[in-house]
């Protein structure tokens, strides 16, 4: 029933409601209307491509499949035209006059659920075709279906409650949306503005997009191409385009999955960790695409926090054709994506560590801190992450690291614990008194140099059934070593420790002979089992007051050391001098433990001791 004169229709009630919100909303990112119309054009072209496979008789079959955007700043119009499937008269009524499609339905549902005040919903849900009314005085949709015998039509509305449809001649296949812009939206009729918007949202649309005759989307959606067809330079170029980076990526993972979700992902680890360089906390920036159209450049929960250093693209391509942006708001879907990608990336790192150990070591040097964060905080991925941690140890060379698994593989049958020491660097740990007892017993000790290590180790707690234990912890029990010649007797040692306890008074909780010392005369252990020396240093750095609380340590002495033997002799013959020596020994032990808060009294005492030499 074609008519030559315009015929007027009322919008369906829901559409009226929707339009009312869209038109009066204060939503600031009105520019998304470009994304919506371009993705409609792209959908229509995709549908045509499918139709061409099964149908022979297609209108204007010679037309190139493309999208043409033109702006006219004098007339204040923007036009988005495609050579896709087009719409018949009935389809215009069905698609643009009723709320058949999912996007707008979801939008209204969310509004009904108390979101009315939140104009953000427009951006989140993408109200599709109707978003044009945020910027339009009027919208004309010219369309000609791919079906040859159908005439062309123009659909016209100012969004205020009704629309008109009129038959027009001379329409080529596809649709042409002409928007007459509101005065305060005239910017959208300028070339530069639309260019910028197209580059942001539609850079990877598969069909050529021409803006005022110039091809704008020249970068390919690399993530959808087959890996072995892509050159390294192409990846690098893409990385630079996508992340606005100047460096080259350090690692990349390009993968696709079919189940439980169809995913194409291209992930990059940058060369450098900017957080480590002192820049602000990195923002998650793996962008989420749905069939090459940007959904969200910085989706928050797509990946766990500790993966915030990753860059790249995730595209969930195999979703039903009519899926819209709103589905991406679906928590369950995001969670599923998160799970699949995280698992895959962890597997990738495991392979890297195995197959390219040197590159992995360099990566770890730069980004290991994120893996530690994950191991300590992300319970779901802890087990996989712990395997990826690396440490220097008493058995590695300086600069070389070991994994916990390798550590365990070297363990003696009766060793139930994995020992570690936290210190500022290798030299400090090696020259301190804590290591020697472990060395003498051939026990490997992991060296931890970062402030967070203490926290990470205590959160990770165990690996492969072995407890992670700080080697300077007061509770550590070590096996007996054969008694060397010339040590103080047990009675003498008892007398000396008792004298030390009395002499040092409040400053020590306990004094005893040590099973960890081999060469050093003494060591200090924090009497507070819940706070290691390193933790105390951190607390002190954060908050002065907590360090003011009186420090009481356990002093362990070495009955084999010449200093102790001499002290045993002098503590009866020259008690005054022996007291100074005892205090100095305690201070030395505190220095090694990083627990000496104020060195001033020590200096005075040392001069006194030097006088008597």
Size of the site for ligand ADP (CB under 6 A): 18
Return the residue nearest ligand ADP (CB atom): 128
> Looking at 18, 65, 85, 582, which residue binds ligand ADP (CB under 6 A)?
85
Size of the site for Mg ion (CB under 5 A): 2
Looking at beta carbons only, is 18 or 446 nearer to ligand ADP? 18
Which 113-142 positions form the footprint of Mg ion (CB under 5 A)? 128
> Looking at 101, 382, 426, 466, which residue binds ligand ADP (CB under 6 A)?
101
Is residue 437 within the footprint of Mg ion (CB under 5 A)? no
**Taking contact as CB under 6 A, which single stretch among the options 39-47, 112-120, 251-259, 301-309 is the one that binds ligand ADP?**
39-47
Question: 132 is written with which tokens?
Answer: 């044009």
Looking at beta carbons only, is 161 or 601 nearer to ligand ADP? 161
Q: Which does 41 bind (CB under 5 to 8 A by kind): ligand ADP, Mg ion, none?
A: ligand ADP
HEC-encoded secondary structure of 120-141: HHHHHHCCHHHHHHHCEEEEEE
Q: How far apart are CA 238 and CA 219, in angstroms?
A: 8
Is residue 68 within the footprint of Mg ion (CB under 5 A)? no
If we measure between CA atoms, which residue out of 547, 553, 545 comes closest to residue 593?
Answer: 553
Is residue 40 within the footprint of ligand ADP (CB under 6 A)? yes
Looking at beta carbons only, is 123 or 304 nearer to ligand ADP? 123
Backbone angles phi, psi at 152, to 5 degrees: -85, 160
> Looking at 70, 77, 175, 285, which residue binds ligand ADP (CB under 6 A)?
175
Q: Which does 84 bind (CB under 5 to 8 A by kind): Mg ion, ligand ADP, none?
A: ligand ADP
In whole angstroms, how close is the CB of 401 to ligand ADP at the nearest point?
Answer: 51
Reduce the DSSP state of residue 364 to 3 states and report it: helix
**Chain-centre distance of CA 70, in angstroms?**
39
Is residue 322 within the footprint of ligand ADP (CB under 6 A)? yes
Which 103-132 positions form the footprint of ligand ADP (CB under 6 A)? 103, 128-129
Is residue 44 within the footprint of ligand ADP (CB under 6 A)? yes
In whole angstroms, how close is the CB of 126 to Mg ion at the nearest point?
Answer: 7
Full strand arrangement of the beta sheet holding 311-315: 251-257, 263-269, 311-315, 285-290, 293-296
Q: What is the DSSP string of 494-520?
A: HHHHHHHHHHHGGGEEEEEE-SS-SSS
Is residue 87 within the footprint of ligand ADP (CB under 6 A)? yes
Please check whether residue 342 is in contact with residue 307, taking contact to mean a CB–CB distance below 8 angstroms.
yes
Q: How far apart are CA 194 and CA 215, in angstroms?
A: 13
- The contacts of residue 80 (CB under 8 Å, 6+ apart) are 34, 37, 38, 41, 67, 68, 69, 176, 177, 179
Please check whether residue 418 is in contact with residue 466, taking contact to mean a CB–CB distance below 8 angstroms.
yes
Q: How far apart are CA 451 and CA 112, in angstroms?
A: 49
What string marks each residue from 23 to 62 as x (binds Mg ion by CB under 5 A) or -?
-----------------x----------------------
In whole angstroms, how close is the CB of 291 to Mg ion at the nearest point?
Answer: 11
Please state whether beta strands 77-82 and 67-72 pair in parallel, antiparallel, or not at all (unpaired): antiparallel
Q: Which does 131 bind (CB under 5 to 8 A by kind): ligand ADP, Mg ion, none?
A: none
Across the chain, which distance is largest between two alpha carbons, in Å? 124
Q: What is the DSSP string of 52-90?
A: HHH-S-BTTTTS---EEEEEETTTTEEEEEE-S----HH
In whole angstroms, how close is the CB of 107 to ligand ADP at the nearest point?
Answer: 10
Q: How far apart are CA 507 and CA 582, in angstroms?
A: 12
Looking at beta carbons only, is 80 or 457 nearer to ligand ADP? 80
> Looking at 68, 70, 285, 324, which residue binds ligand ADP (CB under 6 A)?
324
Q: Which does 44 bind (CB under 5 to 8 A by kind): Mg ion, ligand ADP, none?
A: ligand ADP
Return the residue nearest Mg ion (CB atom): 128
Task: Identify the residue whose tokens are 């923002």.
Answer: 283
Looking at beta carbons only, is 128 or 559 nearer to Mg ion? 128
Looking at beta carbons only, is 37 or 470 nearer to ligand ADP? 37
In whole angstroms, how close is the CB of 79 to Mg ion at the nearest point?
Answer: 17
Is residue 49 within the footprint of ligand ADP (CB under 6 A)? no
- The contacts of residue 549 (CB under 8 Å, 6+ apart) are none
Task: Identify the residue whose tokens are 């993966």.
Answer: 307
**Chain-centre distance of CA 164, in angstroms?**
50
Helical pair 490-504 and 575-593, crossing angle rounded to 10 deg: 80
Q: How far apart are CA 77 and CA 139, in angstroms?
A: 10
Q: Which does 85 bind (CB under 5 to 8 A by kind): Mg ion, ligand ADP, none?
A: ligand ADP
If we measure between CA atoms, which residue out of 359, 415, 360, 427 comes closest to residue 387?
Answer: 360
In whole angstroms, how close is the CB of 390 to ligand ADP at the nearest point?
Answer: 48
Please check whether residue 267 is in contact with residue 239, taking contact to mean a CB–CB distance below 8 angstroms.
no
In whole angstroms, how close is the CB of 39 to Mg ion at the nearest point?
Answer: 6
> CB-based burial of residue 598 (10 Å sphere; 0-12 exposed, 13-18 middle, 19+ buried)?
exposed
**Taking contact as CB under 6 A, which single stretch among the options 35-43, 55-63, 229-237, 503-511 is the one that binds ligand ADP?**
35-43
> Looking at 82, 296, 352, 472, which residue binds ligand ADP (CB under 6 A)?
82
Looking at beta carbons only, is 325 or 372 nearer to Mg ion? 325
**Chain residues in the site for ligand ADP (CB under 6 A):** 36, 40-41, 44, 82, 84-87, 95-96, 101, 103, 128-129, 175, 322, 324
**Chain residues in the site for Mg ion (CB under 5 A):** 40, 128
């Amino acid at each position: 029933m074609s008519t030559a004169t315009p015929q007027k229709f009322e919008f369906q009630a829901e559409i009226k409601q929707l339009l009312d919100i869209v038109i009066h909303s204060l939503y600031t990112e009105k520019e998304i209307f470009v994304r919506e119309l371009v993705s409609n054009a792209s959908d229509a072209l995709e549908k045509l491509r499918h139709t061409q496979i099964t149908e022979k008789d297609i209108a204007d079959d010679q037309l190139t499949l493309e999208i043409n955007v033109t702006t006219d700043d004098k007339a204040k119009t923007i036009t988005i035209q495609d050579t896709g499937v087009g719409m018949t008269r009935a389809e215009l009524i069905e698609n643009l006059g009723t709320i058949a499609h999912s996007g707008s339905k979801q939008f209204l549902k969310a509004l009904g659920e108390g979101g009315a005040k939140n104009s953000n919903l427009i951006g989140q849900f993408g109200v599709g075709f109707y978003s044009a009314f945020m910027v339009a005085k009027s919208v004309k949709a010219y369309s000609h279906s791919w079906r040859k015998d159908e005439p062309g039509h123009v659909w016209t509305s100012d969004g205020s409650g009704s629309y008109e449809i009129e038959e027009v001649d001379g329409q080529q296949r596809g649709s042409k949306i002409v928007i007459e812009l509101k005065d305060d939206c005239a910017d959208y009729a300028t070339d530069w503005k639309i260019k910028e918007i197209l580059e942001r949202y539609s850079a990877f649309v598969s069909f050529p997009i021409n803006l005022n005759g110039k091809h704008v989307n020249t970068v390919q959606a690399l993530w959808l191409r087959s890996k072995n067809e892509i050159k390294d330079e192409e990846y690098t170029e893409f990385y630079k385009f996508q992340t606005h980076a100047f460096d080259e990526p350090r690692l990349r993972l390009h993968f696709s999955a079919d189940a439980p979700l169809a995913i194409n992902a291209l992930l990059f680890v940058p060369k450098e960790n900017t957080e480590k360089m002192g820049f602000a906390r990195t923002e998650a920036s793996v962008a989420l695409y749905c069939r090459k159209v940007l959904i969200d450049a910085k989706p928050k929960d797509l990946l766990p926090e500790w993966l915030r250093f990753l860059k790249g693209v995730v595209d969930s391509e195999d979703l039903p054709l009519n899926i819209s942006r709103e589905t991406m708001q679906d928590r369950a879907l995001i969670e599923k994506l998160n799970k699949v990608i995280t698992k895959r990336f962890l597997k990738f790192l495991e392979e890297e560590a195995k197959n390219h150990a040197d590159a992995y070591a360099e990566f770890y040097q730069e980004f290991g801190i994120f893996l530690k964060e994950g191991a300590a905080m992300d319970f779901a991925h802890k087990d996989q992450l712990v395997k990826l941690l690396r440490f220097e140890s008493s058995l590695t060379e300086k600069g070389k690291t070991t994994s916990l698994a390798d550590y365990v593989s070297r363990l003696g049958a009766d060793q139930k614990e994995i020992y570690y020491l936290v210190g500022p660097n290798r030299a400090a740990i090696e020259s301190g008194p804590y290591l020697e007892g472990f060395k003498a017993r051939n026990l490997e000790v992991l060296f931890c140099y970062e402030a967070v290590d203490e926290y990470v180790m205590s959160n990770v707690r165990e690996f492969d059934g072995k407890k992670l234990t700080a080697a300077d912890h007061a509770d550590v029990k070590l096996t007996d070593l054969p008694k060397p010649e010339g040590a103080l007797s047990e009675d003498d040692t008892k007398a000396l420790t008792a004298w030390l306890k009395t002499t040092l008074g409040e400053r020590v909780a306990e004094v005893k002979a040590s099973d960890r010392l081999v060469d050093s005369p003494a060591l200090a252990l924090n009497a507070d089992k819940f706070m290691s020396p390193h933790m105390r240093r951190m607390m002190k750095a954060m908050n002065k007051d907590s360090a003011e609380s009186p420090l009481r340590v356990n002093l362990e002495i070495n009955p084999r050391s010449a200093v102790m033997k001499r002290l045993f002799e002098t503590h009866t013959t020259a008690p005054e001098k022996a007291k100074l020596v005892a205090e100095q020994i305690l201070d030395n032990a505190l220095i090694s433990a990083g627990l000496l808060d104020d060195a001033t009294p020590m200096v005075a005492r040392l001069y006194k001791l030097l006088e008597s030499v």
